[in-house]
Structure 1
Amino acid sequence: MKVAVIKYNAGNVQSVVYALERLGAEAVLTDDLELIANADKVIFPGQGEASTAMRYLREKKLDKLIPQLHQPFFGVCLGQQLLCEYSEENNTTCLGVFPVKVKRFVPESSEEFKVPHVGWNNLYDLETPLLQGLNNDSYVYYVHSFYCEVSDFTIAKTHYIHDFAGLMHWKNFYAMQAHPEKSGKVGERILENFLKI
């Protein structure tokens, strides 16, 4: 199985490649349109800033390719946010796969909540085969200041200040705000489930 990991000038991408290799997948980090289009599966990870990342995607014509892909596709962290239609981070128009807005966390109390949301938090209301074998209250690792709104595409929620979309799904597109490669056995199981889809 060939897995294309999209290279788009975002951080934390190589650690996803290593996690996939530990699971026995043949992973290649690339921004080559043909390699991505012909891969068995595609993963779109990363940490970074939305407008800068979208600029790179447009320069490489990845903004046209990604929404047209038909193989199983998994956006992670910034990758989840960029699959949405719009991000409040620098007023950024994103890829529009999910008709969902990305908003900035605004703490109601500076003493109770810090932004960014960093650390372990649980998933609940789990749905779809991507989360097979996991229980409600499975913990995953987050690092983010922006979040995807809960919508009809939400397949798991997390609560920080309020509910947000921990994971989303539409057709062949899956997306996760937390970092599976940093989330221990739970993250490993999610990646394994994705590789089996």
Structure 2
Amino acid sequence: MQNIVIVNTGCANISSVRFALERLGVRVTVSAEHDVIQRADKVFLPGVGTASAAMRSIGEKNLTATLQQLQQPVLGICLGMQLMVASSEESRTGDIPCLSLMPGQVKKLNANGKRLPHMGWNTVTHTNSPLFKGIDQHSYFYFVHSFAVPDYPQTLARCDYGSTFSAAIGKDNFMGVQFHPERSGDAGAQLLTNFVNL
């Protein structure tokens, strides 16, 4: 059986991701231990809250280099996806340095007058990434966010909420989704299954 690890960053609702994976028959370990994370077959990096608090927590746990050096597939969820790029403009005092697992910057979502946060179900169009195998175009996923990575070369899927943004990104072994697959019904379950089976 695969060794699946959810990184305990201290800034995540881990239980919902864990339960979603366990419903799929996946055995999950939650850990902030370097050795446990490094030995994993697949790694989940969930996150909620602010980039500054999450990066501070990751730094306090001495996990920055551990995460940057992982060679196995890693999936960031929501804030976890945002932490994968170079920086976030979430702070009024300047950009927050993130993990730089791939290029890019998190920006405030340009909702063009729509209410923020972007909360609820929205459709996603995807590329032919293995992450979206068996998932129909324009499938609905569940979002809760006010910041996003703009559409750019590392985009694997797109969503529109006033403007187009990255619903999923990827580079090498690192992938991230802005939506919550653990709260996205059958499409979310399929995406989690696809990631575990990579």
Q: Which residue of 2 aligns with 1:94?
A: 98
Counterpart contact for 1:127–1:156, Cα < 8 Å? no
Distance 1:154 1:11 in 2: 23
Q: Which residue of 2 aligns with 1:33?
A: 34
Distance 1:60 1:48 in 2: 17
Map residues 11-30 of structure 1 onto 2, 5 A cutoff. 11-30=12-31
Distance 2:42 2:177 in 1: 16
Q: Which residue of 2 aligns with 1:174?
A: 175
User: C-alpha displacement at 1:89, in angstroms?
Assistant: 1.1
Map residues 28-67 of structure 1 onto 2, 5 A cutoff. 28-67=29-68
Distance 1:165 1:130 in 2: 14
Distance 1:107 1:24 in 2: 38
Gaps of 5+ in 2: none
User: C-alpha displacement at 1:173, in angstroms?
Assistant: 0.7
What whole-Å deviation, never above 9, does each CA across 1:80-133 have from its counterpart, x for those lacking one? 000010101113110001111100124432xxx001000000111332111000
User: C-alpha displacement at 1:18, in angstroms?
Assistant: 0.9
Distance 2:145 2:89 in 1: 13
**How many residues were matched structurally?**
194
Using the size of structure 2 for normalisation, the TM-score is 0.95
Counterpart contact for 2:111–2:161, Cα < 8 Å? no
Counterpart contact for 2:112–2:163, Cα < 8 Å? no
For 2:125, give the aligned amino acid: Y
User: C-alpha displacement at 1:53, in angstroms?
Assistant: 0.5
**Identity score, percent:** 38
For 2:97, give the aligned amino acid: T
Which range moves more in the overlay, 3-12 or 181-190? 3-12
Distance 1:89 1:174 in 2: 21
What whole-Å deviation, never above 9, does each CA across 1:123-176 have from its counterpart, x for those lacking one? 113321110001110100000010011111111100011110101111111100
Name the Cα RMSD after superposition.
Answer: 1.0
User: C-alpha displacement at 1:60, in angstroms?
Assistant: 1.3
Q: Secondary structure at the match of 2:153?
A: coil
Distance 1:29 1:46 in 2: 13
Q: Which residue of 2 aligns with 1:123?
A: 124
Using the size of structure 1 for normalisation, the TM-score is 0.96
User: C-alpha displacement at 1:62, in angstroms?
Assistant: 1.0
What whole-Å deviation, never above 9, does each CA across 1:33-83 have from its counterpart, x for those lacking one? 110000111000121111011011111121111111011110000000000
Distance 1:125 1:51 in 2: 29
Distance 2:19 2:111 in 1: 35
Counterpart contact for 2:11–2:57, Cα < 8 Å? no
For 1:18, give the aligned amino acid: F
